[in-house]
A and B are shown apart, each in its own frame.
Chain A
Amino acid sequence: METETNHMITRYLEGKMSPSENEAFERRLESEPGLLDQLENHGLVTSLQRRLRSVAVENTLAASRKKREETQLKVVHRQKRSRRFLYWAVAASFLAAAIYFTWFDNPELGDTIYYAMLSELSPADGVRSSKGEAEFDQGYRAYLAEDYAESSRIFSDLVAEDESNLVNRMWLGMSRMQEKDYQKALQSFESSRLDEFIYRDRVQLLKAMSLIRLDRDIEATAILNQLIDEGSDYAKEARKLLKYAKP
């Protein structure tokens, strides 16, 4: 009987039953728990279960591997994000430093730099005046001897004699700058004919220096920017001086 049932189960599983036989067998399955148990323990069923189990385990392994890979990918992405953030942070720091030094870090135009620049801007050959050469020489020698009170007095007299003499006005201005009388120095440089003057750019720089010392940085910046924009021979000096003008 058992062998007969086993044979029937095999025929059922292998699809060798007629449709009516098949239907009858499945009805029995629903009502006979014993038959279900026999079917459960049939060799073909247990063999298939084992092989199907290996597929199920394979699926689980694939899911585990995928999960791990996703986790690793997330870690890699996180690291990349951190690295990218670091790059941006470094770049931002450089940018901030550049902005700071360009716009905000305006060192004082201290005496050392001030006098060095003033010395650079003093014409080496004296730039002779066309009038009153003897007096001019006295003033020039006083200036070279660092007797600025004397040079100021002499050039002041020369300017009083001829206000249109821009060379004398320039030397007077420089003498006053040496005396730290920036306001008067500026007055010496001012002239409606300045644009015609051969040393106009040099005088403009001297004016900018005086303005910076008087904390009139906006006016100084305008003069210096103009020299830079015009491509003046003194553009390099203007850029250097611009560092000391507060925005």
Chain B
Amino acid sequence: METVLQIAALALMVIGTLFSFIGVIGFIRMPDAYTRLHATGKVSVFGIVFLLLAAILLTPLSLWKGLVLILFVLLGSPSVAHSIASAAYRIGLPMSNPARDDLKGKMEQGDGKD
């Protein structure tokens, strides 16, 4: 039983690290600020959650704390991504060769409202 838990925790750790690694590579490779946000979102959604699941399996003390932190990360990371993207659009940062832009002209840029 102990061994099964440890093997599962090892697999979770390795998968989480791989996802974090892909996220950081994407952060370096992507061309503009908006696409980079997608890559960093993956680090927090997959990397942290898998590492925390491994920590829950390995250290029984931190079960509830780990669940609270998972909930917090899952609630917080989309709103961080949204606030950064909204700030980027509002200061008028251009996208690199966008296929389409439905928002163009609908949000007054440089205005502090909303």
- A and B are partners in one complex rather than unrelated chains: no
Interface residue ranges, B against A (CB under 8 Å): none
Interface residue ranges, A against B (CB under 8 Å): none
